[in-house]
Structure 1
């Protein structure tokens, strides 16, 4: 519960720090936990494909915190948050309990990989290989989804984020240590 409250505070501070981006957030409140929970083993069909054609299912990521960032190369708020997301990825690369899925919603992996390489980003790029669960789907990007080690939705943030926030980093690290 403490982690969820921490993520709520982080999201609120991020909303205030990015006034040029229209944002909305959806969180699992205590009374809504069952509706917002999506367990990995029940959603083994949720999968992503990388630029080499490898498929990663969420079922393979049990016992890991999963950060899914939905974006596109033409999305200005997505591009604005990309440097801080890439830095977060680099800083947590040594933490085997956290997985980053940078998902290009356009599904053109060749183009998005070239885009990231040109800007010297290290993030691995994926595309959706299956439909997202109803609780995670969105019509707006960027959207960041964070799942705990049990596959429960901890946070869904629609809109740009500053992944460099000290509070966000601490909460992510703490979530990986639970």
Structure 2
């Protein structure tokens, strides 16, 4: 029996839909697709659109229960990323964040923030050989960051000005981002 072009197209369409419906195959495919988007460098905010943090009143907790006071980052270059272990775009951009972290962890304050339980976070970090610190919010002041979609990432200068405000997967290890960070560290 010979299949027509339309029957082959319909069969391929059904297979793709089936693959996307099955949870075990859907997430890896979504991560793969988002890795394509994560090749794009984030946009730098235009000077006239840059806003300054209104507050530093925010408490976070690490996996050992130690409280991190956001107030302690005043005067530093800060990279804040809101993410989750189940989020395909978040997963897609993590390798670039790890590479950036590896080179700048002693110069930039990295805050990777999630509401996921540490049981899931630890599995995710171990599976992917990531060594950055993950924090969970204890308090949250919406006047600092308005986050309704993840991943959402902010690069903040020493004066509290938001230089990059990016929603979605991005390449954080790009020459463009590194150049911005290098310039912020010189200021």
TM-score normalised to structure 1 length = 0.74
Per-residue CA deviation, residues 8-60 of structure 1 (Å, 9 max, x unaligned), is: xxxxxxxxx72899xx9794652x55xx3214xxx242122111111212211
Answer yes or no: is the 8 Å Cα contact 1:101–1:124 preserved in 2: yes
Point out where structure 1 has 5 or more consecutive residues left out of the alignment: 1-16
In the other structure, the counterpart of 1:162 is 171
Point out where structure 2 has 5 or more consecutive residues left out of the alignment: 1-35
Alpha-carbon separation, structure 1, partners of 2:141 and 2:116: 14
Answer yes or no: is the 8 Å Cα contact 1:51–1:110 preserved in 2: no
Instruction: Select the structure of larger CA radius of gyration.
Output: 2
Q: Per the alignment, do residues 174 and 19 of structure 1 end up closer, same or farther by CA in structure 2, a change over 3 Å counting?
A: closer
2:160 partner SS: coil
Pairing partner for 1:130 from 122, 139, 151: 139
Alpha-carbon separation, structure 1, partners of 2:105 and 2:44: 27
Pairing partner for 1:37 from 41, 52, 57: 52
Q: Does 1:52 align with 2:95?
A: no
Answer yes or no: is the 8 Å Cα contact 2:38–2:169 preserved in 1: no
In the other structure, the counterpart of 2:6 is none
TM-score normalised to structure 2 length = 0.71
